[in-house]
Structure 1
Amino acid sequence: MRANYGSDVIQPVRKLPTARSAARWRDRTRPERQRQPDRTRRALIEAAANIFNSAGYHGTDSNRIAREAGYAPGTFYIHFPDKLAIFLQVYENWVSAEWSSIEVILKSGASARAIR
């Protein structure tokens, strides 16, 4: 008795991919990654600032920051050791922006009364 496994036609054996053919296939299907750590860090800081402003320090976690910035949670830890570090960076950026605004106002040449 003969078992029926579908077609009686013998299918040719597929060749296993070589390292070279696998690399060609991979190059065709996967876009080249371009790492831009400065851009990633800025995106994380911006997302953190938005979340800290809306949810507060205790309502924010590193996973949420990374997801909001469009990155995997592990990416956060490449740039910051913990939530406190990014909070301090957000705060430093805010203080710098405030001092820059004050400097522009003071350099405007307006009277002391107008500046107040």
Structure 2
Amino acid sequence: MSEMEDKTRTPRQDRSIKTKEAIVQAAMRLFSEKGYHQTNTKQIAAAAGVSTGSFYSYFIDKRAVFIDVLKNYSEALLARIEAYMSEINIQSPDKYALLSHLVDSLILSHEVYTGFHKELSIMYLSDGGIKELMDAQYEVGRVLTLQYLQMGKDELKITDLEAAAFLVFESISAIVDVIAFSSHRIGTDRIKSELVSMLVGYLYI
């Protein structure tokens, strides 16, 4: 741990916790609007309503606050997905409707963070530490997908659940990202319909 890292503090009082949260929220807004490389610590501090010195009492640099923003983003996204998943009846005989609801839920969850997602894509390719954190979060998604399949395994025609969970997660993630974050020539409803039909045909008897 460096000398600078030794000087940062972990907030324990309500006021300090709120100050750190304000810095993280301000950073996410600026990263989403201006981009990571076009944002500096002075701008983040000003947007959070704190001094630059106060910023450095919580974070050693801009990258450190980006990591906290990434963690908050991942936790919020996971909470949204879990909330939507709790509405799903895994035993429903209408598997098309079941998976349609899942895909719609994921799209809605992702669309909240459009601006920040673009910066994540850039940082994933340019920063090994960020890539490692994001890869770990993707693995959480794959594990959740596996758990989802295991709950309804008696109705599945596939036998290798772990490999199937990987394929399903990657397929849905790729298409949801395209729908939520990119322009596309084919209508969203058509893309979703074909994705769901593909998954139903692959998974279910």
Q: TM-score range by the shorter chain?
A: 0.5 to 0.7
Distance 2:68 2:85 in 1: 26
1:47-58 equivalences in 2 (<5 Å):
47-58=26-37
Write out per-residue CA displacement over residues 15-53 of structure 1, whole angstroms, 9 at most, x where no aligned residue.
Answer: xxxxxxxxxxxxxxxxxxxx8110100110010000000
- 30, 48, 65: which is aligned to 1:69? 48
Find the counterpart in structure 2 of residue 28 from structure 1: none
Give the aligned partner of residue 166 of structure 2: none
Structure 2 CA distance for aligned equivalents of residues 113 and 62 of structure 1:
42
Structure 1 distance, partners of 2:64, 2:56, is 10
**Alignment length (residue pairs):** 83
* Counterpart in the other structure of 2:101: 114
Per-residue deviation, 1:74: 0.6
Q: In structure 1, list runs of 5 or more residues that go unmatched.
A: 1-34
Q: TM-score, normalised by structure 2?
A: 0.38
SS of the aligned residue for 1:58 comes to coil
Q: Considering only CA atoms, is the larger Rg found in Structure 1 or Structure 2?
A: 1
Per-residue deviation at 1:114? 2.4
- Structure 1 Cα separation of the partners of residues 18 and 75 of structure 2: 19
Identify the residue that residue 91 of structure 1 maps to in structure 2: 70
Distance 1:46 1:56 in 2: 14
Structure 2 runs not aligned, ≥5 long = 1-13, 90-97, 104-205
Displacement, 1:105?
Answer: 1.1
- Which position in structure 2 is the counterpart of 1:17? none
Once residues 37 and 101 of structure 2 are traced to their aligned partners in structure 1, the CA distance between those partners, rounded to angstroms, is 39
Q: How does 1:1-116 map to 2 (within 5 A)?
A: 36-110=15-89, 111-116=98-103
Which protein, 1 or 2, shows the higher relative CO under an 8 Å CA cutoff with sep ≥ 6? 2
- Higher mean C-alpha deviation, range 104-113 or range 77-86: 104-113
Let me know the Cα RMSD of the aligned residues.
1.7
- Shift in Å at residue 113 of structure 1? 3.2
SS in structure 2 opposite 1:47?
A: helix
In percent, how many aligned pairs have the same letter? 32
TM-score, normalised by the number of residues in structure 1: 0.66
Q: CA deviation at 1:109?
A: 2.1
Tell me the residue number matched to 2:108.
none
